[in-house]
Amino acid sequence: MCVDLGLMHDGRLDPCEWCEETNWRIEGKGDHASYRCKTKNCRCSKSALTHDADLFNKKLALRSLVGALWLFLSPINVSPDQAGLILGVDHRTVRDLFGNFRKWLTPIIDRMNEELVMGGAGMDVELDEISFRSKGLDDKVLWLRYIAIVRRGSAKVFIHKLPDKLTASGQGGGGPLSIQELKDTIVNSAGASRIAVGSVCHTDSAKAYKKLDSEEPLPCLYNGALGGPSFAHLKLAHSNVRHKPPHPEFTRKFKLKIFDGRQWVEEIRVGGTQKLDGFFATFRREVGKRPINTTGPSPATAEAMETQLHERVRTFQFLHWFSFTDAFQVFAEMRKLERASVGSVTWASLASFGKGKAKPSTAPETKSAEEVPAVLVPPAEESPQPLSLSCDEEHEPVYSEGEDVQSELFDPEEEEELIFDNKGIRVLN
């Protein structure tokens, strides 16, 4: 199964090291699998995991290795300790395997994340930030910050790493978002806008977000075709709600001028970042369960902890993107594509997994008699007759939709009398 899905390398296509033939068969060898050359007088063998040691580098049964990957990608979100109990494997071994999976997956998700363009003309887009508290330094606190963009109704969440910020202890959230940070988020590596023209942006009350629909001149934010002095050329609409006390609000209706692709129209939209608020609630539970110490005890340890946090973020992002489908099959397809050509995994190459659940049709599909098998088409003489208001004495009565049929089919006076004994048990006649 793993070979057919593309999760593992198909060793049957490799030439034998001894006879240079491609005449292999797969053999079960205890808890493992191996390839055996079928050429006469050769009988060379090799492990089925020879080319997949970057993922499966532990001396475990093959079913345990694949089971660890399935649990890693499953929607039940099990920890390495829980996965170790399920598989009967030491939790430290499972933790190393999970680390291998994250390490392989992270650079691919980085590329796919960079491809995303959010929103469209008249579409609702939300922007919001999240911060993770790191270790305190004297009277300062280091904050690890991210910003996310998502279109309402879509599972594709764009997540961008913001610069770490050092704030005074007691100041939460890592401080306000700056205009430069907003620019670095919206402009992708090619110099184009990450938010499509005409999108309706919903944010909180951070001052930087108010520049989204402002014509105030700013330093040049874009290069190439989207070059301009401000955000105004993107024709964005913007609403913001205030989350801070004394009167916090999370959703509110706004009358906005929206560019629908051809002209400006006035519409009423519900502002707020409720979709990202729900996403961040799960995001924080899964990614930030433990304090992230990125300040010591050594620079090497701090860098390793930042790398680990980044890998956890990208893994959670991948599972959220493909939460509507089997992430195990998506992972196997990505493995197959990367094995054929490094860097070939794109949104286009995974289009078959990116459509989500099909929407139910509003009207039943009608087919002509030629499209329906003959056995399903009743003969003309057996077609059901329409309801009639009268009945023929020679046939069974045909009732109209408004008649009381129960009076003809059931007579209460003819109901059989039920007899019970002194203990309340029914006595059958």
Nearest residue to 152 (alpha-carbon basis) of 294, 43, 269, 63 = 269
- Number of neighbouring beta carbons within 10 Å of residue 320: 19
Nearest residue to 57 (alpha-carbon basis) of 5, 29, 107, 93 = 93
209 or 403: which leads in pLDDT: 209
% of the chain surpassing 90 pLDDT: 30
| Strand order across the 24-29 sheet | 24-29, 32-37, 45-47
Nearest residue to 177 (alpha-carbon basis) of 138, 143, 137, 223 = 143
- Number of neighbouring beta carbons within 10 Å of residue 74: 14
226 or 60: which leads in pLDDT: 60
The confidence score (pLDDT) of residue 218 equals 46
Element (H, E) at 237: strand 237-240
110 or 298: which leads in pLDDT: 110
The confidence score (pLDDT) of residue 401 equals 40
Place of tokens 């306000």: 176
The confidence score (pLDDT) of residue 126 equals 95
Residue 318 has pLDDT above 90, yes or no: yes
Task: Measure the CA–CA gap between 156 and 118, rounded to whole angstroms.
Answer: 9
Instruction: For residue range 358-407, list pLDDT tens digits in order.
Output: 333 333 343 333 333 433 334 444 444 443 434 444 444 443 344 443 43
% of the chain surpassing 70 pLDDT: 72
Nearest residue to 314 (alpha-carbon basis) of 147, 55, 102, 68 = 102
Instruction: For residue range 65-90, list pLDDT tens digits in order.
Output: 999 999 999 988 888 999 999 999 99
CA angle, residues 404, 408, 412, in degrees to nearest 5: 100
Residue 411 has pLDDT above 60, yes or no: no
Residue 271: Cβ-neighbour burial (10 angstroms; 0-12, 13-18, 19+): buried
Query: What Cα–Cα distance (Å) separates residue 149 from each residue in 159, 195, 240?
Result: 7, 9, 15
Task: Measure the CA–CA gap between 292 and 321, rounded to whole angstroms.
Answer: 25
The confidence score (pLDDT) of residue 250 equals 85
Q: Between the ranges 33-37, 60-64, 69-73, 176-180, where is the mean pLDDT highest? A: 69-73
The confidence score (pLDDT) of residue 275 equals 93
Residue 426 banded pLDDT, cuts 50, 70, 90: low
Residue 232 banded pLDDT, cuts 50, 70, 90: confident
The confidence score (pLDDT) of residue 396 equals 45
Tokens of 54: 């970057």
The confidence score (pLDDT) of residue 221 equals 41
Residue 179 has pLDDT above 90, yes or no: no
The model's pTM is: 0.74
Minimum mean pLDDT range among 36-40, 237-241, 263-267, 318-322: 36-40
Interhelix angle 80-87/91-115, rounded to 10 degrees, is: 130
Instruction: For residue range 101-125, list pLDDT tens digits in order.
Output: 999 999 999 999 999 999 999 999 9
Q: Give, rounded to a whole angstrom, the gap between the first and last alpha carbons of the chain.
A: 62
The confidence score (pLDDT) of residue 427 equals 58
Residue 131 has pLDDT above 80, yes or no: yes
The confidence score (pLDDT) of residue 246 equals 80
**Average model confidence (pLDDT) for the chain?**
76
Residue 94: Cβ-neighbour burial (10 angstroms; 0-12, 13-18, 19+): buried
Residue 8 has pLDDT above 70, yes or no: yes
